[in-house]
Amino acid sequence: MKKKFNDTGTCISKKHYMVDTTCQLEQTIALIEEGEYFIINRPRQFGKTTTLSLLEKSSLLKDYIILRMSFEGIGDMCFQSEGAFIKMFVAKIKNELEYLGIEEEENIFIFDKESSFADLAKIVTKFIKSMDKPVVLLIDEVDQASNNNLFVRFLGLLRNKYLLMNEDRDFSFYSVVLAGLHDVKNLKLKLRPDEEATYNSPWNIAISYDVDMTFSAKQIETMLVEYVSVTNAKMDIAYIANKLYYHTSGYPYFVSKLCKIVDEKIKPEKWEEIDIIEAIKILLEEEENPNFDKLIKILEENKDLTKLVKKVSLGLESFSYNSKTPLINFGKMHGFFRSNEKNRIAIFNKIYDKVISEYFESKQEIEENLDIVNSEYLTDDGKLDLKVLLTKFKDAVKEKYSSAKGLKSKEFLEDDLRMMFFMYLKPILNGIGFSCKEAQTCEERRMDVVIFFRGEKFIVELKIWRGEKQHKAGLKQLKEYMDYENVQNGYMLIMNKNKTKEFKTTTEDDVFIAWV
């Protein structure tokens, strides 16, 4: 069977090129061996189901009976009564036992439609006592049931049996692992229909699952090594792995997705960074992408999150990353945010940042027509002339804010400038080029925009004028970043809020600067 990169469903080692996740798996297994209860709550397409599959098949868990089930597609009928839920849950256990070739003892799974969770507790006790090994329960897609009172009460049952088991007064599952988007610690507990729901969490026995499930550049290399060994593809493996990590921040779905597009659609003779950029462009142009659609839907429905995401994406403000803050935790849960190396909020990866930017650009209304013509910014050989682009952008800003209305400081906002620049770039790049942002976290609010156009890379620093000292420091930082990215020429777009400012262009230390 020919292997391929997988971007849907569970990754299977004999069918798909996979990153070596031994490190994450061993950390998870250690928690199971310690008898912990926990939930793997991560954003969509983050490898949760694949992790459960690997746990089920791991030889390290040979001394346990692993029961793996999913609540996906179970429907509403099983939540009509406790008896209906018990029927569903017991059926899944029996299916697993049959799959494992384990014969069930008689008179264990006895219940009827009138049975209650008290009866289920007894069934679980008898079942566990009948097994010759500790039983580990893995439940996937718990979000399908997490808003249902019966599921919350089921968790309460597991919690109660866990506490009694630890006192040697009952028998229960040795370890329980749930997987889903939400952290069910935050679910309300309502043990009786007439009881007010409270945050006395039914899952407060669970430990935090702190295993980093993102792929490091070194881990991405392991998948590329296998791919090269099978296909004889040409690439600098470490270089490509680092570039994949740079654009994805190790988000599992996007790592595999970009590789799949390069392998199956671009098919280069040798993999280069430009192929990854082209793969991102193809990904962003997909007519249907449930991952992106869900991201935008969440923004549409959450105004406070939208405001925070916009400030972070445009580099307007820097915020400490505190996942206990409800809004930040909500953004983290849905994949918007991660913590950067300075423990500040960052958009999770450059792909999401691009999707978010395009969303805000589509929402932005600019009063006048900037009359952008692509050919004005190209050299005779079709390359991008960034000096001309920045000069004309400077002139457009001057016209907008120095019109007969006069220059009004309240109109000349930092987010206006940055959004205007991204909108100005969009039709120029227009399927040929690509841009991404490298937001900084220092107080001078600088942002590097990396532009790829027909094989060339450009770096433009967007910043606010905060005096000569910070300007010189900014030039030094830009030069260092240019060296890191192996780029010869640098560019700056400086917003000067002083009333005496000039709309001009200058050159300092091989850096072309447009002042607005």
> 293-305: per-residue pLDDT in tens?
999 999 999 999 9
Lowest mean pLDDT among 197-201, 278-282, 473-477: 197-201
CATH code (residue 141): 3.40.50
The amino acid at residue 346 is: A
Mean predicted lDDT score pLDDT of the chain: 88
- How does strand 511-515 pair with strand 504-508? antiparallel
Determine the 3-state secondary structure of 429 from DSSP.
helix
In a domain, 90, yes or no: yes
In a domain, 201, yes or no: no
pLDDT(197) > 50: no
72 with 135, same domain?
A: yes
Reported pTM: 0.89
Lowest mean pLDDT among 7-21, 80-94, 195-209: 195-209
pLDDT band at 372 (very low <50, low <70, confident <90, very high): low
pLDDT(409) > 80: no
- Please give the average per-residue pLDDT across 482-499, as a whole number: 86
Rounded Cα distance, 307 and 373, in Å: 32
In a domain, 209, yes or no: no
The predicted structure's pLDDT at residue 188: 52
The predicted structure's pLDDT at residue 183: 80
pLDDT band at 191 (very low <50, low <70, confident <90, very high): very low
Give the DSSP per-residue string, 437-490: EEE--STT--EEEEEEETTEEEEEEEEE---HHHHHHHHHHHHHHHHHTT-S-E
Rounded Cα distance, 317 and 417, in Å: 15
- How does strand 270-271 pair with strand 234-235? parallel
| Structural domain count, the chain | 4
- Please give the average per-residue pLDDT across 146-160, as a whole number: 88
512 with 382, same domain?
A: yes
Pick from 363, 387, 420: which residue ends a domain? 363
In a domain, 488, yes or no: yes
303 with 411, same domain?
A: no
Rounded Cα distance, 485 and 190, in Å: 56
Element (H, E) at 515: strand 511-515
91-136 pLDDT, tens digit per residue, is: 999 999 999 999 988 889 999 889 999 999 999 999 999 999 999 9
Structural domain for 88, as ranges: 22-186
372 with 477, same domain?
A: yes
Number of helices followed by number of strands (H, E) in the chain: 16, 14
